Amino acid sequence: MDENEQAGRRGVEYAAGRGIAVVVMEPLRGGKLSKEPPAPVAKVWDSAASRLSSVEWAWRWIWNQPEISVALSGMSTMEQVVENVALADRFGVGNLTPEELKLYDKVREAYNSLSPVPCTNCRYCMPCPNNVEIPRIFQLYNDAIMYDDMRTGRFMYNGPFAFQPDQRADNCIECGECLEKCPQNIDIPDWLKKAHEALYQEMLPAPPG
């Protein structure tokens, strides 16, 4: 899902080409790819000749890449540890056919088709004169919808490592400056309202002492 984020595949290949070990964090995207996939995604996986779980498909993609040295995956049970070790032993470089690699592109397209806001994170709308973190808010909102994980979206929006109060969507005053800059013609103020309505959750104060 994120092969083009940050340095992406180009960075992975560059680092490995310089003899630097590559460590992948959150290969299952924080557990989101281990959940039952939404219908459009499941339909793509069901078209494959191999019948595998979402976790197996994810790990096959990781270990198919010769540049990757280590994958850091959060595991909360011994069963998950055993499964991940077994998959690392079972899958390796060259384990995917060209036809199977094309499936990943289709799965990515299927997930992205579920994004309600067509934001490409170009950041032309930034900086917002009222300090609203527009692209980041849309990414959180899109992820919460795509992966059916509103709980994580709300934690990221409201939690201890989240936005400053003036960066949240409710700080938008609908000045319209972002509308003139957005190449996707997104109705940014309207979507910010929807995102805030879905993601905002007043956090309880910590207990005294």
What are the extents of the domains in the chain? 8-112, 134-199
What's the pLDDT at 124?
95
Region 84-113: mean pLDDT is 93
What's the pLDDT at 83?
92
For residue 9, is pLDDT > 60? yes
pLDDT tens-digit readout, 68-87: 999 998 888 999 999 999 99
For residue 205, is pLDDT > 60? no
Distance CA 116, CA 111 (A): 11
Region 88-107: mean pLDDT is 93
What's the pLDDT at 161?
73
What's the pLDDT at 162?
75
Query: In whole angstroms, how far apart are CA 34 and each of 20, 30, 84?
Result: 29, 9, 12
Distance CA 107, CA 55 (A): 14
Least confident of 115-119, 143-147, 155-159: 155-159
pTM over 0.85: no
Nearest residue to 44 (alpha-carbon basis) of 117, 100, 1, 91:
100
- DSSP H helices, the chain, are 8-17, 39-46, 54-63, 78-90, 98-112, 134-146, 150-158, 177-181, 188-199
As given in the structure block, the two tokens for residue 15 are 């680092």
pLDDT tens-digit readout, 187-203: 999 999 999 999 998 75
